[in-house]
Structures are given as structure tokens and as C-alpha cells.
Structure 1
Amino acid sequence: MVRTAINLYSVRNLDLPMAEILERCADAGYDGVQFSGEFGGLSPDELATKLDDLGLDVTAAHVDLDAMETDAASVVETHETIGSDGAVVPWLGAEHFESREAAEETATRLENVAANLADHDFSLHYHNHDHEFVPVDDTTGYEVFAEVCSLLLEPDVGWIETAGHDPVELLERYGDRIEIVHMKDMADGDFCEIGDGDVDMQACADTARDIGAEWLVYEHDQPEDPAASIDHGAQFLDGL
């Protein structure tokens, strides 16, 4: 059964201690959280204890690529302590996908990172934006990238929609490589609350279940009210 989580990047501007943010996420009804960078000043051990107390699980976390390339063992140790079994490359610039050669080089680079993490039984995922879908010959930079490498994919349905592609079709195409789906909504390319935009969220959730995805992760890059957005995201995902 697919579970729900919130990417904590969504609440990065919420001026509260990490412990209280996690309490709010648990109270909202999420099954887990996805970390994106900092732990709010808590040590991995302190964080693990708090998560356990709240009954929150952890998805693969968004982790800086340089950190994974510099010291994979340290990244794995830190994130395994908090209960994560993988890492996600959260962003690479458009230049990494602007041509077939660039996309192939990017795929090879991340494949090497994935191999290093695999030595520690740790998986690697890639999170897309819209710029990966630049036309390349008769395909896109994203498709070239996905064909060359074998790492897991974390589709962001809002960015896929914004790029002019069908999120459901992409979920179906790469279903055997998808554990986490980012449930972000967009309206004419702008961030919005989930359910208010252009993405068919019900179809995405249904397809995520069909392909055996493990997580639906709510994300809103620029919520007007981050605290209210926590509750809205949980309620919306729970209704799908």
C-alpha cells in the first residue's frame, strides 16, 4: 500500500524547531517525512529518537550531490541512522540535459555515484524539474538520461506537467524504477496548493498504486502559509 509523506523543503520557511515541525506532520496524518538538506540542528540520533516517538517513517532523502561524491560512506551512515535507505539527487542544472552528449555524461556520472552507494546497500534516485525535458533529436534530455542509466527515478508530477508532458504516461513507462512520486501541483507553470492546479492528481495517485510505488510525497515550493499547507497536503493525499 502506498504511503504518504511531506518533503520538508515545503516548510523550510516555517520558523519552528524541527521537533515541532515533525510533531505537526505526524498530527496531520502523514506516514513519513522526506528530509531535504538540514536536520534543523538535531543530531541524527536525536532525530531518529523523535521520529520513532512520533511513529514517522523516512523516505529516501534529498541530498547534495557533491556530498555523495565526496564521502558516500558518511552520507549513508547519517541517513541510515534516521531510518532512510536511499538518497535523491534533488536538482541538476539545465546544462546537464541540454544535448544528447550532456545527458549521457550526466547519466554516467550518477551511475557511478549509485554504484558507490550500492556498495553500502543504499539506493540513488533522481528528482526532475522541467528543464530535463528539453527536446534532443527526436526525444528529450530526460529520456536519454533515463535510457543510459539504471538508477531509480523520483518523478515530480507538477514539473512534468509544466514541461508539457503527461505525468501518468511517464509513471507507466518507468514504473519499475519508481518508489517515490512527488505530488506537486502547478497552475500555468506557477506553484499552487495541491488540487488547485493543472495536474490530474487522482490519476497520478492511481497510477502510482498500479506500478507499486511506495510513497506519495507532498511538496509545495512556495506555500503562502507553510503551517496550513502541512495539513492541506495531508488531507488531500488522504482523499486520493
Structure 2
Amino acid sequence: MTAIHDKLAVQLYSVRHEMAEDLEGTFQKLSDIGFRNVQLDGMRGNNRAEVLRLLEKYRFNVIGMHIKHDRFLNDLDGIVDEAYFFGCKTIFDKYIEEEDQNLAGYEKTKRTLLDAVARLHGLGFRVGLHNPEYDFNDRVYGRRVMDYLTDPENGLCVYAEPDTYWISAAGHDSVEYVKRYSGRAPIVHMKDFRSGFELEDMANNLVEIGDGEVDFAAIIAWGERHGVEYYCIEQDRSDLNMFESLKKSRDYLLKLM
């Protein structure tokens, strides 16, 4: 059985600027903090062979990959090639582009993702969807977008990657909301939220884990009973040095665990 502390991960979007400036230094600092699991989010201008070399040097386990929406529409073979290259078969549509945030776009997205599931599940792939706040409030045929897109169909399932910050920003209780994804959310994005500010004011409403209002102890307790494999820290921005921010969030979760 995997120890709880081994289930913590970091989404590399958090250190996108740092990766662009100093790839090895970034990986070394993440390793020094104690991270062993990472979720990829693009190469940030680096050669993918160099990214893989350093992932292996610092003994990181790639637990998932965020892929741009248009690549699922137009480059599934390229996604598969990249997934095999990094040894990771858990792939997520990063977010639905603005031009597809409408009925036709959501229908197309569901068809596209289910087609990817049908083509790839026999190879051991898991296809999922990450989401911003509109997916929790906009509706398609009476269903919230995130639910519509992840509703099983003909025995096929698009996995959910619930994000505690965006659920909270949408006005929902993140602990209650994730319960609908029992067994269908191998990775949960751990991000804290502080109310009282405009949605766009991420300088104030997005805070380090433990400084906001999300009940992470309850999220973890639920996750341990319902199939969550990794709790992935993502910090879009911070007033702290990003490595200090990630360490603070990781330390808080370790205390809970």
C-alpha cells in the first residue's frame, strides 16, 4: 500500500517560469523540497529529451500529463508518442479553449475525448479532463459541464481531475463536490481559496494550502476511501518565491497526513 506522503505530487505549471529559465535548477529544488511525483504541463521551451534526462536524474515519477485542448482534437497520435516517451499513460485535457465554451464545443469535446478513450483504453491509457470554474456552473442539457463531459457513456469514462480552488471559486463546497467523482478521479488538484475577493483577483483569493478555506483533511479522508492516487499541489501564482510556496503547501499537507 502506498504511504500517504508518497502520494503528494506537484503540477509543473507551478514552476513554468522557473523551468524556462533554469530547468535543472528547478528540478533540483523540487527534489530538495521532497517531491518525488510530478505532473507535466509542457516543456517550457526545453528539449523533451533533456526534460526526460533530468526527470530520471532526480528520480521523479511522472504521474500525469496536461495536454492542450486542441491537441486532443488534432494530434492524438502525437499525444500518444509523448506519453510513451515520458512513460505516463494518464493524460488530461488541460482546459477547454474559449472558442469551444459553448454547446457545440462541449458536444465536440465529449465526442473527441470519448473517441480517445475508445482508441486508447486497450493500451492502458486513462483520458481525463481538468477544469476551470465555468465547468462547474455552465450547463449542457441540464448537466453542469464537468459532469456532462465525465458522465460515462456506453461503458466508457472520461476521468475527472477536480481542482479544489476552481470548485471553491465557482461557489461550491469542494469536499461535497468531489464526492460525485468516486472512483473516477485518480488525481485531485490541491489548491486553496480565500473568499471575499473578485474571481479574477487571484493575487488575494488564491493562497498557499492552509491559508484559505478548503478543508484538505476532509478531501484526503474522502480520497483515501474513493480511489485517489495522487494529491497534486498546483500554485498558479504566489507572492512568495514559488519554491517557498510549494514547500509551505507540502509541509501543511504532510502535517494533515
Normalising by the residue count of structure 1, what TM-score does the alignment of the two structures yield? 0.87
Normalising by the residue count of structure 2, what TM-score does the alignment of the two structures yield? 0.82
**1:114 is the counterpart of 2:117:** yes
Structure 1 residue 96: Cα displacement: 4.7
The amino acid across from 2:213 in the alignment is D
Distance (whole Å) between structure 1 residues aligned to residue 231 and residue 63 of structure 2: 10
Alpha carbons 1:87, 1:122 under 8 Å: kept: yes
Label 1:175 to 1:94 Cα distance change in 2 as closer, same or farther (>3 A).
Answer: farther
Distance (whole Å) between structure 1 residues aligned to residue 64 and residue 118 of structure 2: 16
**Corresponding residue number in structure 1 for 2:177:** 170
Structure 2: where are the runs of 5+ without partners? 200-204
Distance (whole Å) between structure 2 residues aligned to residue 19 and residue 170 of structure 1: 38
**Corresponding residue number in structure 2 for 1:226:** 242
Alpha carbons 1:94, 1:131 under 8 Å: kept: no
Distance (whole Å) between structure 1 residues aligned to residue 87 and residue 60 of structure 2: 10
Could you say what secondary structure the match of 1:52 adopts?
A: helix
Structure 1 residue 16: Cα displacement: 3.8
**Corresponding residue number in structure 2 for 1:64:** 68
Which of structures 1 and 2 has the larger relative contact order (alpha carbons within 8 angstroms, sep 6+)?
1
Q: Which runs of 4+ in 1 moved over 6 A?
A: none
Alpha carbons 1:37, 1:62 under 8 Å: kept: yes
**1:197 is the counterpart of 2:204:** no
**Corresponding residue number in structure 1 for 2:35:** 30
| Cα RMSD after superposing both structures | 2.4
The amino acid across from 1:158 in the alignment is Y
**1:161 is the counterpart of 2:176:** no
Among 144, 147, 157, which residue is 2:148 paired with? 144
**Corresponding residue number in structure 1 for 2:224:** 209
Per-residue CA distance 1:129-181 (angstroms, 9 max, x = gap): 11012253764232223325521110001111111222222322211111000
Q: When the two structures are aligned, how many residues end up with a matched partner? A: 238
Could you say what secondary structure the match of 1:13 adopts?
A: helix
Distance (whole Å) between structure 2 residues aligned to residue 28 and residue 212 of structure 1: 26
Distance (whole Å) between structure 1 residues aligned to residue 250 and residue 29 of structure 2: 11
Alpha carbons 1:97, 1:142 under 8 Å: kept: no
Alpha carbons 1:57, 1:83 under 8 Å: kept: no
Among 124, 128, 132, which residue is 1:125 paired with? 128
Could you say what secondary structure the match of 2:114 adopts?
A: helix
Structure 1: where are the runs of 5+ without partners? none
Identity of aligned residues (%): 27
